Structure 1
Amino acid sequence: MANDIVIAQTTSDNEDQAKSLARGAVESKLAAGVHIDSPITAFYWWKNQVETAQEWRISYMTTTDRLPALEAWLHEKHPYDVPQWITLPVTGGSEAYLSWVSEETAQD
């Protein structure tokens, strides 16, 4: 079961946008749940210079089956030209929790 669950992450420079990206994914059954971390400071290269920004990290709990649809949805909704998009495999966890993620993202 754990091999079927992933955590996908992106960031937003706007708290309301982060909440919208979180709620939309859950309402669309693309993620069972989403965590938004309080503002973090990001440093990154953009257009040949180092930028600094306050961002909110958004972590989606989903399945490998729903991941492509979640990624497509995110790229459609996200305002960044190049949004962060990384996935982290879940290698273990509570069987009840992992089952919940699978059940909540199951396609009807």
Structure 2
Amino acid sequence: MVDHYIVTTATPDRATAARLAASAVQARLAATAQVHGPVTSFWWHLGEQGEGEEWVAIFKTTSVRYVELESHLVAEHTWDNPEVTAVKIEAASAGYLTWLEKTTSVDGEG
């Protein structure tokens, strides 16, 4: 059985988020991607609390393509240790899930 995921990463600017979104969809690692922002983020990093503006890229993919998508995002990201998180889609319309699977398949029927 194929699982379906919503995958997110944060980036320092819109251009980076858009580049990651476009390249992941072009490679069919994700069926779709959206870029949101700017958002204000608060974090701990290198022992200090920080605050700053970030952009968020959201991807829809399958368990079949997740590892490749994660590797792509980490390799192409501008940060050394980027956030890449995935949440399983528990429910969605059957037609949407079928489209997601076809679009991210190797033959890319979507």
Band of TM-score, shorter chain: over 0.9
Counterpart amino acid of 2:87?
Answer: L
Encode CA deviations 1:7-28: one digit per residue, 9 max, x unaligned: 1110101101110000000000
Which consecutive residues of structure 1, in runs of 5 or more, have no partner in the other structure? none
TM-score by length of 2: 0.93
* Alpha-carbon separation, structure 1, partners of 2:48 and 2:88: 32
Quote the residue 1:105 is aligned against. Answer: 104
* Alpha-carbon separation, structure 1, partners of 2:35 and 2:97: 19
Give the percent of matched residue pairs that are identical in Structure 1 and Structure 2. Answer: 31
Which consecutive residues of structure 2, in runs of 5 or more, have no partner in the other structure? none
Give secondary structure in 2 for the equivalent of 1:59.
Answer: strand
- The alpha carbon displacement at 1:48 in A equals 1.1
C-alpha RMSD of the superposition? 1.1
Flag as ranges the 4+ runs of structure 1 deviating above 4 A.
none
Higher helix share: 1
The alignment of Structure 1 onto Structure 2 pairs a total of residues equal to: 107
TM-score by length of 1: 0.94
- The alpha carbon displacement at 1:85 in A equals 1.1
